[in-house]
Amino acid sequence: MDCSQARNQLSDFHDGTMDAAAAAALAAHLRGCGECAGADASFLAVRGFLRGLPPDPAPPELLPRVLAAVEAEDRNARPGSTHGGADTTIPFLSRFRVPLEAAAAVLLFASVYWYQQTYTPAARPPSGISSEAGKVSPSRPMAAREDTAKAAPTGIRPARENPKAAREIGPFMPKPRTWTADSLPSVPASLASTDSERIVPIAPPRPLSALPYGRDIVVDVKPESREGAEERIAETASRLGGIVERIEGERDPTGKGAGGAIRVLLPEAAAVGFLDELRRIGTVPPEVPPVAIDIPRGPQPGTVAYTVTLRVR
Amino acid sequence: MEGFRKGTPGAFEAIVRAHQDRVYSFCARMLSDREDALDAAQEVFLSAWRNLANFRGEAALSTWLLRIAANRCLNRIRRRKSLSEHEAPWPELPGETDEGIIFQPAGGEADRPDRLAETFEMGEILTKALSQLDPGSRWMVLLSDVEGFSYEEIAALADVPVGTVKSRLHRSRMAMRRLLSPVA
């Protein structure tokens, strides 16, 4: 055994985790090697000092700080939390935690049950209503359609009066209405229908056909800025020496909810100014690369082309 | 503990009083900074207070507190390192390489640590030497040689094999021996 090996085994030797033969060999080496014996002595001394190292006294401010922190947390703790704090008064409500939760669960169940028994919906999805009273959507079961037809002309027969239909349609079918679909107010589908208005889907603007040149840019505009956005873009393009190739959109009667698209051709030098103007009209998504790096080439050299799609956000 | 469970007023304060020196000492030796150690010790007791009701007593309360302290201190050291962009790496321990301990002849009789202890305040010397160990080894030395944790307990806490703990401890002890030798 050499000195390096001997020193690497000192911990195991003093922990008593070496096998007997190896321990005997190390002991023999230590007996015969003064340097390793010295290293062993200092090694043992270090371990002894460490074991006898007394704890430093904690600063006097530690205890008040801990107690203050605990008190603050206890004050803020919710009743029934799993925090310790057993040396403080248990919050009154937390003693009733389980009964209160159980009571809440029972109450919730009873409420849902009562609601199912008594609820009559206020509105029916318009898809099941045609312009004539008493007609139902073809998607409804035949039995329900027959039952409903018998109820004409007063409107859709209530589910409660027709147990068979009620079974097939379910407990949440709408309350009978005496008005027809035409009498419902209409509102664009892009707005939330909160008051039983008839929803009129808006046909999305037909996208302009893709060109082998230029770039498509989506501009998000606010509803209040939507109106006349195409005109502003066209005017900008003209002012910068470009031309408007095509405009699509404005299918929404209000002019605020629909998207639109406009294709412009510009001199290359006008690209930066044009994009700046687009950013004033709306928000150009960050994925559009900076024009300084990447100018989308137009159909002729020295021109750029953009197809700007307006999106109302 | 029983008093705490029963909600006896002042029971938690008694626990803090009984263990604050050990917990603070450990934090101070790990962090080498009084304010940091105070904050860490406060966190340890606050964490203990939050979880004391769940403490099942499988280990001694002091062992449990020191485990929390070790985690808190290592977190603080990691945070320090991540906050300090220009922090110098932990100094390489004398005589230590990746391959292990390099053999160095021992110094003379006067260099023996037990002799040095006669002329220096041993606590200060040891604390200074401990502060030169890397934190990953320091807490093992503190828990093993100062606090008396078993290798298995440390291995479980560090989530490393027992053999790794033993070899790191041995390297650290030998490094401590060398660190203490040239102090004079």
Give the ipTM of the model, two decimals please. Answer: 0.73
Q: Mean pLDDT for chain B?
A: 76
Whether the pLDDT of residue B14 is over 60: the answer is yes
Which of the four pLDDT bands, split at 50, 70 and 90, describes residue A51?
A: confident
- Could you tell me if B67 and B139 are in contact, meaning their C-beta atoms sit under 8 angstroms apart? no
Could you count the other beta carbons within 10 Å of the beta carbon of residue A162?
18
A16 interfacial to chain B (CB closer than 8 Å): no
Mean pLDDT in residue range B29-48:
91
Mean pLDDT in residue range A246-272:
69
Q: Which has more pLDDT, A111 or A259?
A: A111
pLDDT of residue B45: 92
B13 interfacial to chain A (CB closer than 8 Å): yes
Give a three-class secondary structure readout of chain A: CCHHHHHHCHHHHHHCCCCHHHHHHHHHHHHHCHHHHHHHHHHHHHHHHHHCCCCCCCCCCHHHHHHHHHHHHHHHCCCCCCCCCCCCCCCCHHHHHHHHHHHHHHHHHHHHHHHHHHCCCCCCCHHHECCCCCCECCCCCHHHHHHHHHCCCCCCCCHHHCHHHHHHHCCCCCCCCCCCHHHCCEEECCCCCCCCCEEECCCCCCCCCCCCCCEEEEEEECHHHHCCHHHHHHHHHHHCCCEEEEEEECCCCCCCCCCEEEEEEEEHHHHHHHHHHHHHHCECCCCCCCCCCCCCECCCCCEEEEEEEEEEC
CA distance B126 to chain A (A): 7
Cβ <8 Å between B174 and A66: no
Which range (A259-263, A272-276, A286-290) has the least confidence? A286-290
Cβ <8 Å between B50 and A84: yes
Please tell me which of the candidates B11, B41, B146 has its beta carbon nearest to residue A53.
B146
Show the tokens assigned to B4: 């705490």
Mean pLDDT in residue range B162-172:
90
CA A247 to chain centre: 35
Which of the four pLDDT bands, split at 50, 70 and 90, describes residue A121?
A: low
Cβ <8 Å between A46 and B180: yes
Whether the pLDDT of residue A37 is over 70: the answer is yes
Indicate the helix (H) or strand (E) that contains B1.
Answer: none
pLDDT of residue A160: 44
Whether the pLDDT of residue A200 is over 60: the answer is no
Mean pLDDT in residue range A247-264:
62
Residues 31-90 of A with CB under 8 A from B: 35, 38-39, 41-43, 45-47, 49-51, 53-59, 61-63, 65-67, 69-70, 73, 82-90
Which range (A19-28, A35-44, A153-162, A219-228) has the least confidence? A153-162
Q: Mean pLDDT for chain A?
A: 68
Q: Taking CB atoms and an 8 Å cutoff, what residues of chain B touch A69? A: 42, 45-46
pLDDT of residue A204: 52
pLDDT of residue A3: 86
Which of A44, A66, A71, A90 has the highest number of chain B CBs within 10 A, making it the mutation to test binding with B? Answer: A66
Q: Taking CB atoms and an 8 Å cutoff, what residues of chain A touch B46? A: 66, 69-70, 73
Q: What is residue B109's DSSP assignment?
A: G
Q: Are strands A215-221 and A303-312 parallel, antiparallel or unpaired?
A: parallel
The answer to pTM > 0.95 is: no
Please tell me which of the candidates B34, B53, B173 has its beta carbon nearest to residue A47.
B173
Which of the four pLDDT bands, split at 50, 70 and 90, describes residue A210?
A: low
A271-281 vs A229-239: helix axis angle to the nearest 10? 160
A153 interfacial to chain B (CB closer than 8 Å): no
Whether the pLDDT of residue A269 is over 70: the answer is yes
Question: What is the amino acid identity at position A263?
Answer: R
Q: Taking CB atoms and an 8 Å cutoff, what residues of chain A touch B11? A: 86-87
Q: Which has more pLDDT, A291 or B64?
A: B64
Q: Which has more pLDDT, B159 or A200?
A: B159
Question: What distance in Å separates the CA atoms of residue B8 and residue A87, rounded to the nearest whole number?
Answer: 5
CA distance B59 to chain A (A): 18
Question: What is the amino acid identity at position A220?
Answer: D
Question: Percentage of residues in chain A with pLDDT exceeding 90?
Answer: 3
B66 interfacial to chain A (CB closer than 8 Å): no
Write the pLDDT tens digit of every residue in B52-103. 877 777 678 888 898 889 888 888 888 877 765 444 444 444 444 433 333 3
pLDDT of residue A303: 80
Which of the four pLDDT bands, split at 50, 70 and 90, describes residue A63?
A: very high
B68 interfacial to chain A (CB closer than 8 Å): no
Which range (A151-155, B46-50, B149-153) has the least confidence? A151-155
- Could you tell me if B158 and B140 are in contact, meaning their C-beta atoms sit under 8 angstroms apart? yes
Write the pLDDT tens digit of every residue in A85-108. 444 444 444 545 566 777 888 888
